[in-house]
Amino acid sequence: MRKKSKRGNARKFRFKQLFARRRADDETEWFKFDDEPAAAKLSPRRRIRRRLLATKLAAFACFSVSIPVAIQWGYGEVFFKNEEFVLKTLQIQTDGILSVSRLAEIANVAPGMNLMDLDLGQIQQQIETLPQVEKATVTRELPERLHLAIRERIPVAWLSIPPLGVRPWDMERGFLLDEEGHLFRCLDLNDGMKSLPVVESFQMTEPVEGTQVESEGVLAGLQLILESEKRFVEDGLAVRQVKVRDEWAVECDYNTNLKVIFGVYDYQRGLEDFSLILDRMAESGRELASVNVAAEKNIPVTFVAAAVPGITSTASPRSSAAAPVEMAPASAPPAPATVDTVDQEKHLRSILRGG
């Protein structure tokens, strides 16, 4: 066996001391400190306060939910399950020809129903689905009455579309028009309905009841009918028929066989010119046969031929350009009445031009 020397042992102990020192340094790494301080414990008084606050919040929430439920339950018990609020009187007031029984059937209401269960908005919508109805008002009067007020559409004219077989005074194929152009059927063909004017058009699609016409010519014809009733009622003029000639002009046929052509888009200006011409004709004593106020200047005007005693005229009462020459007795040569006619025409044209 090898004998250990003193030098070797010293080296051994020296290394041992080095490792011992390192281990001593490493042992300090096992100690770790928490930077966050520990939470302080709540006092009993604060804990009690928090519990009381939570209890109050829960009670308030329950109270908030229970109040609407109680109100709803009470409302149902007082109104919906109360026999005093039973419909006993149904009042229906209309300004037209719709029958009360049909309106009650459309509204789907009858005596004995609970007045508070009725949906007034739905009843109003059901009644307004009728093409003849313009506006419906539904109100309940506690404890036992329901009131329906109906405003029906006022017919202004009949619609005529010969290519489609739509003709006036026909309860099955005919349509009535109100002032806004709404289409509805005639339910009672009385004398008043038969006396309404006719608006005729050849260029329209198949009409549908309850809709509104889109033809500008038809709408202009309806306004001409209404305006003529206001302006020319003192002159004894009433529109008998309105013909939509094209998309630019309509022709009004009055009860005196007078034909007046108006523009579709400027009929208001045409009415003013036509009113001025009527005033001048009243002063001159002449009778108009046709006027074309669709033209803004140089308005064509024709006159009715004056009857001569003892002579029967076979000429048409209307001429195409100017007033016809008045006929004289057979024994005398024709009187040169053309000069008077031309002067009258020039006078009217100067009036319309502002001269």
Domain ranges of the chain: 83-152, 157-352
pLDDT of residue 317: 36
pLDDT of residue 82: 55
83-152: what fold? Ubiquitin-like (UB roll) (3.10.20)
Instruction: Decide if 324 contacts 304 (C-beta within 8 A).
Output: no
Given strand 133-141, what is the order of strands in its sheet? 89-94, 145-152, 133-141
State the pTM of this model.
0.65
Q: pLDDT under 50 in the chain at which residues?
A: 1, 24, 31, 33, 73-75, 77-80, 311-339, 355
Task: Say how many CA atoms lie within 13 Å of 65 toward its Cβ.
Answer: 5
pLDDT of residue 81: 54
pLDDT of residue 34: 53
Q: Give the burial class of 107: count Cβ atoms within 10 A of its Cβ; 0-12 exposed, 13-18 middle, 19 or more buried.
A: buried
Read off the amino acid at residue 213. Answer: V
pLDDT of residue 112: 83
pLDDT of residue 242: 97
